[in-house]
Amino acid sequence: MADAAQHKGEWDACLKEGRRRQAVARAVFDAATEVRTNVVQRVFTQSLNRVWMSLFSRLAPNEGFIPSFGIPTSSKSGLELTLRTVHREGREGGSPQMMLSAGNLNTAALSLFLALHLAVDPVIPCLVFDDPVQAMDEVHVAQFAGLIRVLARQHERQVIIAVHERELFDYLALELSPAYEGDELLTIELGERSLEQDRGITRHIWTPDPAIAG
């Protein structure tokens, strides 16, 4: 009986310590969840939404409904994010799939990609696009080219763009041509041009316009 009482005392002490550690772990988990929820809500409802809405408005200046993230909700499995649209006048709209055309849905995805890139300090200041202007009309393409100029020249990003259409290739090469000393554009053409002597690689550097210089 004495041995059993001793073992029971040891077990009770272990059980008490286990419950104490469980309570500490639960408190740490609850505190971490609360901090994560606050950070995510602040990011998605303030900084990221603000950048996303600004970029989308530049790429689609005539679209009345602007996509954004709704307020995230927290559950035991994690955070649930919802997408919504808000009219420029402030009233609530439906989901982007309901309110936006196919071209503007692509614009929304593209602007969200850019917003995520600009929301944090990049480890590598480089952006890679693979056929980013599919389903876009001429206005959206022109706005995209202007945005790329801003990213490359004001935000000092190296931008790589892959396109499949020759007309679009020539247009972007013209719009993104060097505009000042030190600015540079490199175009690479695949296919038959890659078999030529220059392998389809052209380096465009800035040169002063003699008409303006004169």
The domain locations on the chain are 1-99
At 22 the pLDDT is: 93
User: How far apart are the C-alpha atoms of 176 and 163, rounded to whole Å?
Assistant: 14
User: How far apart are the C-alpha atoms of 187 and 168, rounded to whole Å?
Assistant: 13
Q: Give me the helices (H) in 60-165, please.
A: 96-99, 102-119, 138-153
Averaged over 89-104, what is the pLDDT? 84
At 182 the pLDDT is: 80
Share of the chain above pLDDT 90, in %: 9
At 18 the pLDDT is: 92
Q: Which residues of 128-137 are buried (b: 16+ CB within 10 A; e: fewer)?
A: ebeebbeebe
Asked if pLDDT for residue 76 goes beyond 70, the answer is no
Question: Alpha carbon of 10 to those of 2, 15, 18: distances in Å?
Answer: 12, 9, 12
pLDDT grade for 19, boundaries at 50, 70 and 90: very high
Asked if pLDDT for residue 181 goes beyond 90, the answer is no
CB 151 within 8 A of CB 159: yes
User: How far apart are the C-alpha atoms of 185 and 178, rounded to whole Å?
Assistant: 6
At 23 the pLDDT is: 93
Averaged over 29-45, what is the pLDDT? 74
